[in-house]
Chains A and B, each alone.
Chain A
Amino acid sequence: MAQQNPDNLNRRKFLREGLFGGTLAMLGAAAAAISAKGRKTEYVWQIDPYKCIGCGNCATHCVLNESAVKCVHTYAMCGYCDLCTGYFVPEPKALDTAAENQLCPTGAIIRTFVEDPYFEYTIDEPLCIGCGKCVVGCAAFGNGSLFLQVRHDRCVNCNECAIAAACPSQAFKRVPADQPYLLKDGQ
């Protein structure tokens, strides 16, 4: 072992301790400053339905193989139309539940007769892939009561949502976890 000058060693130790203390103080100050801005609760991702254009990215860009985005329905806004343009392809052969007449690629919309001439449309969520086809159809010619939302029972809440990064209309935003939905309310 090489001889070390004790003076030198002491100086080095002192310097190191100073740096240690300095760094600790810096970390503490930074942590305090950042927590001072104070957010107790989490953010989650949500789609602003008034910005969403139903481009289809939600179905393909989620990190989950089956997207966390699903179609939801604000029933109070719905016209309960017989000819639902969210349900039927343009110019359907007949107004029935035959697959060829349905807009939804997975047949995820359930059409139930309520009373003449009204029909209720419900989303069968496990089938919905969040492609937004019905959303576009409903918004184009109907009341716009069908829209896409991130379903938080499925979403793993990525720090940066992969769909948000691919969303052409910048419709994704971080919302407080205690108000995790941006539902259309018909107002």
Chain B
Amino acid sequence: MTRTRRVFTLLILASLCAASAWAIERFPPPEFETDYVMKETTVPGPRAEWRQAVDVTVLFAALCAASWLVLKKRSRRGVFVLMLFCLVYFGFWRKGCVCSIGAIGNVCLSIFNAEYAAPWYVVAFFFLPLVFTLFFGRTFCAGVCPLGAIQDAVLLRPLQLPAWLESALRLMAWLYLSLAVLFAATASAFIICRYDPFIAFFRFGANPAMWVVSIAMLVIAVFVGRPYCRFLCPYGVLLRQVGRVSKFRVTITPDECIQCRLCEDACPFGAIDKPTVEWPQKEYVRGRQRLLILIGCVPLFIAGGAWIGWKVAPKLATAHPTVALAERVKLEQAGVFTDRIDASKAFYSSGKLLEELYAENDEKQTQFAVGSAMVGGWMGLVAVISLLRHSIFWKRSDYEAHRAGCVACGRCYNYCPRHRKWKENKALL
């Protein structure tokens, strides 16, 4: 007992004398006399590289299948089965990583960071669905995306949301995308991955807060069709814009719209546009006035957004670990905090100089001030454009799936009598 205590005291003294606490050879490795063979540290390797190629191939095949099922076969059931397969493969089997949504982070980091280059298959995950959407509409969302799938699978009691609410909520997705770009570009965080609300299910694991978010999201998805897709998904924002100019797309009817209105409420995602009646002269004039006023306000919105962005920049910057550390250390130095947290302990024991840390902090703060102001200005522009759109008269003669909003699920097909006719004819052939 006393012997061990003495040894311990000695050891403590010895370690206090040591300059750095790490990897000090206090006890030279022994020269063994017996024939003891020293073990090697084992290094089990990661997943074999070729498996990435398999993932990309499955992605490509699934995209082809989804596009074919939606546009050519016009089969909701087919899409649904494919969707379940992809949910199991990309979600539960591949544990939700890597996904096209999260790949936004890798692509941005790759663009803005000299040391990082996104691996080829992540680049493929990012671009393939965009290219397919450009040709065929958002068939990726319908049949391939595991996040879309898990929401789609639980949608039992869809509610219709008013259009104004829909477009207001959609701004959240724009904000999420902009922030994701900002945080990835400054090498602070991949927030899309960090706050992925469905990964908890795919891996059966998450921290308690994320479990709450995940379960809440899934419950909402029972009543509101694909809430993540419509109001949060940052990749969905990109897909929407690409979808606007897609070559082919979902048409509710295989040939002509007979204005039967049967599909009117078919879409649980609010993506069916009704034919428009001519605006009455009075409203038209008012709409035009509003449009002019809003256009006049564009610079105001941008400036206002940029100002807000600039104001919140220091707060956002703390997402970067170095900034958070530097701010903490500053306060410790100033005596505001007398205790030390793990991060500051690690900093002090690393032997890094205060000046170095502060310099890094300043650099990040500048990056954030600029980036955050840009995000703010951009969001101002997005907001004003989404307002503008309500003051423009869009001419439409038929019931149509909205180019951006339609996730190509194929639910509306069976509501359309022309589609049913088409199917019967096809069955006869």
Contacts and interface: CB of A to CB of B under 8 A. Distances in A.
B36 A115 contact: yes
A180 B43 contact: yes
B12 interface: yes
B98 A77 contact: no
A64 to B, nearest CB: 6
A140 to B, nearest CB: 6
Interface in B19-58: 21-30, 32-34, 36, 38-47, 49, 52
B355 interface: no
A107 interface: no
A131 interface: no
Given A23-B245, A80-B29, A139-B23, A35 B43 contact: no
A101 to B, nearest CB: 10
25 contacts: A2-B395, A23-B242, A27-B127, A39-B118, A41-B119, A42-B46, A42-B49, A42-B52, A42-B119, A50-B23, A64-B203, A73-B39, A78-B29, A83-B7, A115-B34, A118-B32, A143-B23, A143-B24, A143-B25, A158-B193, A159-B98, A159-B105, A169-B350, A170-B325, A184-B23
Contact of A142 (B27, B45, B193, B242): B27
A76 B33 contact: no
Given A61-B207, A77-B25, A34 B49 contact: no
B120 A79 contact: no
B204 to A, nearest CB: 7
Given A159-B102, A162-B194, A170 B44 contact: no
Interface in B350-401: 350, 395, 397-398
Nearest to A18: B245
- Sort A-B residue pairs by CB-CB distance and give the 7 closest, nearest first: A79-B27, A169-B346, A168-B342, A168-B343, A153-B44, A39-B117, A160-B190
Contacts of A40: 119-120
B120 A115 contact: no
A159 B190 contact: yes
Interface residues of A, number: 81
Interface in B164-210: 189-190, 193-194, 199, 203-207
A170 to B, nearest CB: 5
A125 to B, nearest CB: 8
Contact of B341 (A39, A162, A168): A168
B205 A53 contact: no
Contacts of A81: 27
Interface in A25-51: 27, 30-31, 34-35, 37-44, 50-51
Contacts, number: 203
B106 interface: yes
B284 to A, nearest CB: 16
Contacts of A141: 8, 11-12, 14-15, 26
Interface string A86-117: 00001111010000000000000000001100
Contacts of A72: 41-42
Contacts of B321: 167, 170
B110 interface: yes
Given A42-B52, A114-B36, A77 B120 contact: no
B203 A152 contact: no
Contacts of B97: 156-159
Nearest to A57: B342
B24 A144 contact: yes
Contacts of A74: 41
B27 A34 contact: no
A160 B105 contact: yes
A27 B23 contact: no
Given A141-B26, A158-B193, A27 B134 contact: yes
A115 B244 CA distance: 75
B426 interface: no
A131 to B, nearest CB: 14
Contacts of A158: 97, 193
Contacts of A118: 30, 32
Given A83-B7, A140-B21, A158-B97, A38 B29 contact: no
A63 B205 contact: yes
A127 interface: no
Interface in A132-184: 139-144, 151-153, 155-160, 162, 165, 167-170, 174, 177, 180-181, 183-184
